[in-house]
Structure 1
């Protein structure tokens, strides 16, 4: 037993249960607009991984295996006994790939939204020096460890624009909760630890063998939209195209994990499909009603 009390919220009144695993450095607050669109069809369980929000920091390594075990214990604690639909976005997709291999009998259907791949290293073996100088895993670890050494006040200044945006859309108390989350140095340290263990997690997922034969939908972002966004952030166009072509190949590979797998392209969407094209995710979810 991990014996860790994770923060969670249950929203909605539908008969079908949906459990949401957010991306690295994300929170369930980012999903509120999407949740409002589906709460009549699903009962949605949103939660924060250990070290996020009001979930305490775990002493365990931040591997997808430990994350999956902690989620399983949360599901048991809530008392969910029927099969559920599981969504994983970005790094959350890597977490739910692990969960699906460990607890396949729990899952009614799996949706990976622009998910991290267990073969993510293919991206960092590309000849993309400018991009790697900005968004490599080592850079992400370095940036988040730097943030973890800042004071709450310094982080409040750094993330002020994000805090203000959430204040526009969230009730006062939850906007304050988000501010507490984003300005907590331990949150940044947790993110760094999740990045540090990507390699271990991916190796473990591969070593567990074949993916279970469960319904799987992989939703991939629009290459053109992402290339444009990278170029606007001063990434050379040839690097952006190479990166996006490889990202798409990895999404297709993920869709082949299950015999019941398929890929859906979210035209007009960048990485945050739930914000850019929520309608596509909703169409996919309706198949499980």
Structure 2
């Protein structure tokens, strides 16, 4: 869990869809009409303090909003599964309650990448840009996953066993104490079982699309798999992901960019905040043309 260094004076609880959400805003007093607001979506079970290395600098050139999803951080605990539709509807309600109209640039880290892709599909006309920071791969299929192990010469029987263990042997007992992180993990697993069918059918707005990818392998030796070479798996998976993400970028007539950072791990906004800040600034500036 990260400690937030964001000024408490800029955080507040906002009631939307009948629940209280912790929200951080800055820079809206000077927002000009049709200027994009930057909306941050956190990773799995992580609060808005996750952005404390970049959000203050970004607020100097664009208005920003970050928030804690239900049952995470300082937001109210709500015993409702955080499906992509529920999360999108909650964010929509927050933005309406705060009178923050579109257009939006959505920035999502990890699981937040999956949620911003979904929001963009539900409300495509509101989106000016999409920024994915080492996202959970919403383009992946079970066969894509299996192909990584085939490239590593893992036997098919073992591949089947690992896939079954990954997707179908999870502990389904409700963790009421840690409901937000627990329930978000359940939602991600359910989407993986269906090859992200719910997201794949959503339209993708024709906007600039940025991907940041961390190339640094960080899993400690004691936590690595005994079944396969996890570092080799990491690099093959990264390459596989990037090939699909490039196709996603090409599918937009507004283009975009893929930024591969070899010295950054999963939390790119912490490992290389300057790159995140500068590239988001480039995106904002490009929308003025």
TM-score, normalising length: structure 2? 0.73
Task: Report the Cα distance in structure 2 between the residues aligned to 1:261 and 1:36, rounded to whole angstroms.
Answer: 24
Greater alpha carbon shift after TM alignment, 121-130 vs 255-264: 121-130
Alpha carbons of structure 1 residues 188 and 205: separation in structure 2 relative to 1, 3 Å: closer
CA distance in 2, matches of 1:272, 1:64: 22
Asked if structure 2 preserves the Cα contact closer than 8 Å seen for 1:220 and 1:263, the reply is: yes
Q: Is 2:109 the counterpart of 1:89?
A: yes
Please, what is the CA RMSD of the aligned residues? Answer: 3.1
Name which of structure 1's ranges 277-286 and 231-240 shifts more when overlaid on structure 2. Answer: 231-240
Matched, 1:250 2:244: no
Number of residue pairs aligned between Structure 1 and Structure 2: 246
- What is the deviation of 1:92? 0.5
The SS at the match of 2:237 is helix
For 1:240, which of 231, 240, 246 is the aligned residue?
A: 231
Superposed displacement of residue 239, structure 1? 3.2
Q: 1:270 and 2:285 equivalent?
A: no
- 1:219 to 2:212 alignment: yes
SS of the equivalent of 2:105 reads: strand
Q: Name the SS of the counterpart of 2:258 in structure 1.
A: strand
Check whether the contact 2:139–2:244 (CA below 8 A) recurs between aligned residues.
no
**Conserved? CA contact 2:40–2:108, under 8 Å:** yes
Contact 1:17–1:43 (8 Å) recurs in 2: yes
Contact 2:113–2:135, Cα closer than 8 Å, also in 1: yes
Q: Which runs of 5+ in 1 are unaligned?
A: 150-183
* Mapped partners of 1:2, 1:202: distance in 2: 26
Residue 21 (structure 2) pairs with residue 6 (structure 1): yes
Structure 2 segments unaligned to the other structure (5+ residues)? 1-15
- Change in Cα spacing, 1:272 to 1:70, as seen in structure 2 (3 Å) is same
1:231-277 alpha-carbon deviations (Å, 9 max, x no partner): 56434673321233223322331232242232111231011000001
Any idea what SS the aligned residue of 1:6 has?
Answer: strand
Structure 2 residue matching 1:29: 3-state secondary structure:
helix
Partner of 2:184: 191
Decide whether aligned partners of structure 1 residues 20 and 185 sit closer, same or farther in structure 2, where only a CA change above 3 A counts: same
Q: Summarize the alignment of residues 59-138 of structure 1 with structure 2, pairs less than 5 Å apart.
A: 60-122=80-142, 124-125=145-146, 126-127=148-149, 136=166
Which range moves more in the overlay, 191-200 or 113-122? 191-200
CA distance in 2, matches of 1:188, 1:116: 15
- Larger helix proportion, structure 1 or 2? 1
Q: Which residue of 2 aligns with 1:229?
A: 219
**Aligned partners of 1:197, 1:41: CA distance in 2, in Å?**
38
SS at match of 1:262: strand
What secondary structure does 1:46 align onto? Answer: strand
Spell out, residue by residue over 1:144-183, the C-alpha distance to the aligned partner (whole angstroms, 9 max, x if none).
958x36xxxxxxxxxxxxxxxxxxxxxxxxxxxxxxxxxx
Q: 1:241 to 1:95 in 2, by over 3 A?
A: same
Alignment CA distance shift 1:203-1:230 (3 Å): farther
Give me the whole-angstrom Cα distance separating, in 2, the residues matched to 1:233 and 1:60: 32
